[in-house]
Amino acid sequence: MDISASMVKELRIKTNAGMMDCKEALQASGGDFEKAVEYLRKKGMSAATKRSSKAAKDGVVASYIHMQGRIGVMVEVNCETDFVARTDDFQTMARDIAMHIAASNPLYVRSEDVPESVLEREKGIYQEQAQAEGKPEKIWDRIVQGKLKKYYEEVCLLNQKFVKDMDITVETLVNNMIAKTGENIMVRRFARFQLGEDI
């Protein structure tokens, strides 16, 4: 099938992937746009897995101030080299993540960061709910796991839907940048301040 330049351009705008990667994805998916997006995501995730062992010691601390100074965020996003850290694409992604944190108020970076005590409390609540709803005991574990997944999507930055594109998660955003730069990239930590919080 002939893949037109406009198809490649449209896919590139949607995914931020390289031109050749977009063309390859469209050819592999027979011109099906959604399948091409999925192809690129899988490719990005496999590239991310390969890069994850590389040390990410460079990067930026990005900030975002919202609502005339009522909410402020600082986030550290790491990569392997200063060269990538200084690119517009990387800096934009870091700022977008800071803006996302301001809007979505995650509590943790990744699911592994959730303390065991918090997880145990949540599991207990979900099991009690299943019991109160009269669900059979043999499916309680499945119900608890399903609710835990939703909990991670609410409180863990990487699991949240990205506010500027609800079709992807923040983790997919980072993986797409890994695929584009060829470097390991990770969100290390963040701090979110809200005026009057805890007063």
CATH architecture group of domain 58-109+156-194? 2-Layer Sandwich (3.30)
Instruction: Check residue 44 and give its pLDDT.
Output: 66
Cα–Cα distance for residue pair 109/96, rounded to 1 Å: 15
Q: What's domain 5-51's architecture? A: Orthogonal Bundle (1.10)
Can you give the residue ranges of every domain in the chain? 5-51, 58-109+156-194, 115-154
CATH domain 115-154 topology: GTP Cyclohydrolase I; Chain A, domain 1 (1.10.286)
pTM above 0.75, yes or no: no
Is the pLDDT at 198 greater than 90? The verdict is no
Greater model confidence, 64 or 21: 64
* pLDDT greater than 80 at residue 199: no
pLDDT tens sequence across 105-148: 999 999 999 999 999 999 999 999 988 888 888 898 899 999 99
CB 31 within 8 A of CB 7: yes
Percent of the chain with pLDDT over 90: 56
pLDDT band at 174 (very low <50, low <70, confident <90, very high): very high
Name which of 191, 182, 184, 17 is nearest 97 in CA terms.
191
pLDDT in tens, 61-88: 999 998 788 999 999 999 999 999 999 9
Q: Which of 3-17, 53-67, 92-106, 108-122 has the lowest mean pLDDT?
A: 3-17
User: Residue 48: pLDDT above 60?
Assistant: no
Distance CA 162, CA 169 (A): 5
